């Protein structure tokens, strides 16, 4: 099994460190590669960033299929290019939002998404409507008031704010499961889980990277891919990919 991970940003990364971090999510024997974008934004924090990133994501999804990959994970909680990508290729394409929500729904009756700033709330509300998930299943979405690119350099601050918002969600909103609403937050997922458990809050914490990769591996093992009754294949036409001109 061979999986392509697409990071939806143009940030220059230490790929050796990224591979080391992401490897814990995969089953033994699964091969994977990570790719960043050539065109787009440094981080995804708005619908504008989503629009900027989408063309290159679609191009890389298509290239993944052409290069023999069995599935693609777009590592973003915004489902960037995922639905369009499913029309484009005949291998499974997974984003973090759908996989995480569907995983959490099997664990508890009241869920809380915690993300970074209020700007993401309308996007998440829209995606819940697309999934046809009852809003009654969710507490109000909470945020930690930190930019995406502040989370890793300021891990301790991010951890403390995530802990505080998790406790508020549990005590004030009666949340029974916490969902990390950003894939950058996964770097402190285990620490947050232990901190909550030590404080007496023994409830599930869903890591979006873990949920998405495990779902993708399961689809591949079961021989499943998206339905052509839902994601109709593209009609033959010339495509001028972003950045190629013509």
What is the pLDDT, as a whole number, of residue 245?
A: 55
Share of the chain above pLDDT 90, in %: 68
Q: Is the pLDDT of residue 165 over 50?
A: yes
Give CA–CA dist 52/34, Å, rounded: 19
Q: Is the pLDDT of residue 242 over 80?
A: no
What is the pLDDT, as a whole number, of residue 241?
A: 64
Q: Binning pLDDT at 50, 70 and 90, where does residue 82 land?
A: very high
95-138 pLDDT per residue, tens: 999 999 999 999 999 999 999 888 888 888 988 998 888 889 99
Q: Is the pLDDT of residue 162 over 80?
A: yes
What is the pLDDT, as a whole number, of residue 246?
A: 46
* Contact present, 241 and 55 (Cβ < 8 Å): yes
10-39 pLDDT per residue, tens: 888 888 888 898 999 999 999 999 999 999
What is the pLDDT, as a whole number, of residue 40?
A: 87
50-59 pLDDT per residue, tens: 889 999 999 9
* Contact present, 62 and 89 (Cβ < 8 Å): yes
CA atoms within 13 A on the CB side of 39: 13
Work out the average pLDDT over 189-210: 95
Q: Is the pLDDT of residue 92 over 50?
A: yes
DSSP string for residues in 124-190: HHHHHHHTT--GGGBPPPEE----GGGTTTTHHHHHHHHHHHHHHHHHHS--SEEEE-SGGGGGGHH
Give CA–CA dist 218/19, Å, rounded: 21
The reply to whether the predicted model has a pTM over 0.85 is yes
How far does CA 137 lie from the centroid of its chain? 20
- Partners of 3 in the β-ladder: 32, 71
- Domains of the chain by start residue, with CATH: 2-95+210-222 (3.40.50.12500), 98-207 (3.40.50.12500)
224-235 pLDDT per residue, tens: 999 999 999 888
């Amino acid at each position: 099994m061979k999986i392509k991970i697409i990071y939806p940003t143009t940030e220059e990364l230490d790929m050796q460190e990224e591979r080391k971090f992401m490897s814990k999510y995969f089953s033994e024997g699964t091969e994977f590669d990570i790719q960043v974008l050539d065109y787009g934004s440094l981080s995804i924090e708005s619908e504008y960033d989503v629009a900027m990133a989408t063309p290159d994501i679609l191009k890389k999804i298509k290239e993944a299929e052409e290069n023999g990959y069995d599935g693609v994970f777009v590592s973003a909680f915004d489902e960037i290019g995922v639905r369009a990508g499913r029309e484009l290729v005949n291998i499974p394409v997974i984003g973090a939002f759908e996989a995480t929500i569907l995983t959490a729904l099997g664990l508890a009756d009241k869920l809380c998404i915690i993300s970074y700033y209020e700007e993401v709330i309308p996007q998440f509300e829209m995606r819940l409507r697309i999934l046809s998930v009852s809003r009654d299943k969710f507490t109000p979405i909470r945020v930690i008031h930190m930019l995406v690119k502040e989370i890793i350099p300021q891990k301790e601050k991010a951890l403390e704010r995530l802990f505080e918002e998790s406790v508020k969600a549990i005590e004030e909103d009666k949340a029974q499961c916490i969902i990390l609403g950003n894939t950058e937050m996964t770097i402190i997922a285990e620490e947050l889980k232990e901190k909550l458990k030590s404080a007496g809050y023994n409830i599930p914490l869903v890591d979006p990277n873990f949920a998405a990769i495990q779902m993708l591996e399961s689809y591949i093992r079961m021989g499943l891919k998206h339905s052509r009754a839902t994601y109709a294949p593209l009609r033959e036409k010339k495509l001028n990919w972003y950045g190629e001109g013509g």
